[in-house]
Amino acid sequence: MESSGKLIETGEEVLLYLNERKSWLVRVEAGKKFHSHKGIVDLDGVVGRTYGSEVRTTLGATLKVLPADYLDHLERIARRTQVIYPKDMAYITLMANVRSGSRVVECGTGSGALTSYLASHVRPGGKVFTYEVREEFQENARKNIERLGLEDSVEFRLKDITEGIDERDVDAVVLDMATPWLVVGIAYRALRTGGRIVSFSPTINQVERTVEEMRKTGFVGVKTVELIMRTYKVKVNETRPDMVMVGHTGYIVSGRRC
């Protein structure tokens, strides 16, 4: 049976797709309506239809109904809060060698967006230990992680990581915090030999202090990179990079415990 044949049920989250620039993540609830600048959709009318079908708004716009997947949720979380961009998440995950079964320490939890990406990749058997000092951030992140069904792969720590990491012999430490250099020595002791540290920072000054501390502590293979993402308008006879772009998100420093 094709998933295309599956009928949409109450309670499911769907993507209402308008065009390449605009779509919405919506939970299909009985008796609810979805409002947008393109008009209203009665969500009762979505139940029982197949994915891929189209609905019309009260203003006459046509929306396609797609099944919402992890990436849709990630983009939704990313839009709400100031988080690491997907391009950086993907590269951090690679450089931390995060894989099935990996035990990863993360700080800070923030919105849980990066936590969720790491958690997706340690399954099954692995675990993300995520540190955060601000209780309200942890609570929000916990909700995001549960919504994504990833709670079995995450342990939340309400603790200032500069006071220590509880875990030992972990495979990776991933830092997205204002003062990563304060955690470099602590991370070294928590990592197994050959384990990897990856730190994300927006300013070059943070990078300098972190790299210096990593070299002093004995990390090897220390590298600093920046990923610049250019988006393109592609259309025959009009193809070019977009005129306005995100010029900078942050630098990614990585190294390895010896």
Q: Pick the stretch among 27-35, 139-147, 156-164, 207-215 that binds a second copy (CB under 8 A).
A: 207-215
Q: Which stretch binds a second copy (CB under 8 A): 28-36, 40-48, 128-136, 208-216?
A: 208-216
Please tell me the distance from the alpha carbon of residue 42 to that of residue 157, in angstroms, as a whole number: 41
Site stretch for a second copy (CB under 8 A), options 1-9, 39-47, 137-145, 159-167: 1-9
Site membership for a second copy, residue 194 (CB under 8 A): yes
- Considering only residues 126-165, where is the footprint of a second copy by CB under 8 A? none
The C-alpha atoms of residue 146 and residue 137 are separated, in whole angstroms, by 14
If one asks whether residue 40 binds a second copy (CB under 8 A), the answer comes out as no
- From 156, 152, 161, 155, select the one nearest 180 (Cα to Cα): 161
| Nearby residues of 74 by Cβ (< 8 Å), 6 or more positions away | 86, 89, 113, 116, 117
31 binds a second copy (CB under 8 A): no
71 near a second copy, rule: CB under 8 A: yes
Q: Is 79 in the site for a second copy (CB under 8 A)?
A: no
Cα separation, 33 vs 227, in Å, equals 40
Closest CA to 144 of 210, 136, 176: 136
3-class secondary-structure state, position 238: coil
Candidates 33, 35, 134, 192: give the one binding a second copy (CB under 8 A). Answer: 192
Nearest distance from C-beta of residue 91 to a second copy, angstroms = 5
Residue 143's H or E segment, with its range, is helix 135-147
User: At 165, is the secondary structure helix, strand, or coil?
Assistant: coil
Residue range at the interface with a second copy (CB under 8 A); choices 12-20, 24-32, 41-49, 137-145 = 12-20
Tokens of 10: 């109450």
Considering only residues 93 to 122 of the shown chain, the ones binding a second copy according to CB under 8 A are: 93-95, 97, 99-100, 117, 120-121
The one among 40, 59, 158, 220 contacting a second copy by CB under 8 A: 220
